[in-house]
Amino acid sequence: MRLALPALAFNLGDGFGDESAATENLVVEGDTPHKLGRVDWAYGAADPMRDWTFRARDGRLSLVIHPFAREIGGVDFGGQYSRLRKAYGRFSGSIVLDDSRAVRLEGMLGFAEEMSLSW
């Protein structure tokens, strides 16, 4: 049985763990993975309903999520905490795949989040 895969999916990170060997940044088109290098994020932490931007340092990715809902949460026990800022919205922009094809996104549903933990 073959599973139906989405036409496009991606995972983008900004500094999770040790990136000296690789990043967690990946685009999957159909069943083909396309590895990305470092991606920088920018957003207003005080207002996660403003657009969040994502740019690959090598120029292969330029995306914006236009939020329509947010989630803010967490717990704080002094030195131990969990802090979450999350924006649900629609992505627009472009991604260049490993074979140099450019994919344009317009209105793709998704989310972005920043999570800080200290346990």
Q: Is there a domain that residue 10 lies in?
A: no
Q: Is there a domain that residue 52 lies in?
A: yes
**Non-local CB neighbours of 74 within 8 Å, separated by 6+ positions:** 81, 82, 83, 84
Q: Is there a domain that residue 58 lies in?
A: yes
What average pLDDT does this structure show over 25-44?
91
In the chain, how many domains are there? 1
Domain with 63 in it = 38-118
Instruction: Band the pLDDT of 20: cuts 50, 70, 90.
Output: low
Number of separate helices (H) and strands (E) present in the chain: 0, 8
Q: Is there a domain that residue 107 lies in?
A: yes
Q: Is there a domain that residue 65 lies in?
A: yes
Whether residue 22 is predicted with pLDDT greater than 70 in this model: the reply is no
